[in-house]
Amino acid sequence: MYDIKQFDSLLKVIIQHNIQGVTVANLIKDRKKVEIKDPLTDEIRGGLSGEPTRKHSLELNRHTYKNYGDKLTSISVGGVFSTEDAYAKIKAGASLVGLITGLFFEGPQLIGRINRELVQLLKNDGFSSISEAIGADFNKKQKKSKKL
C-alpha cells in the first residue's frame, strides 16, 4: 500500500534534524490502494481520509514506534471512530491520537465517550495510565491490574 522504505527515509531525516514528534498518517492519494465501498470518479479531487485509512495509518504508526519510539512522539490519525480505534493506535505506539472525520460522523460527544471508555479498556488490560499502554503491542507481558 505504501513504500515503507520511502516512509522510513522521511523518519530518518526527521530524526537527523532533532524533530521531537511526527503525525502519522491519514490521507491516501491513490484510491486503488484502499478498499472503498462506492467508486469515486476522477472529478472528485483530494485524498481519502477516515475509515479507509485506518489500517494504513496503524501500520505506519507501528513502524514508527518500533523503529523510533524512543526518539519520536507519535501522533496517530486516520480512521478514529470509536474508543477501540483510539486504543489500537495507543497500543501500536501513539502518544497522542487525532481525529477529524470521526467527529463529522459521530459528533463532538465522540471525544468525551472515548475518554470515558478508555479508562475501562486500560483497566481491563491492567494499566493505570495511558502512558503505560503506549506501545503495549510490542511488550510481551501486560501489566498487573491497578486501580484507576
For 100-138, the pLDDT digits (tens) are: 889 999 999 999 999 999 999 999 999 999 999 999 999
**Distance separating the N- and C-terminal Cα atoms of the chain:** 39
Average pLDDT over residues 78-94: 96
Q: What pTM did the predictor assign?
A: 0.84
Level-2 CATH architecture, domain 4-28+47-138: Alpha-Beta Barrel (3.20)
Pick the closest to residue 50 from 85, 94, 74 (CA basis).
85
Cβ pair 86, 112 in contact under 8 A: no
Residue 145 has pLDDT above 70, yes or no: no
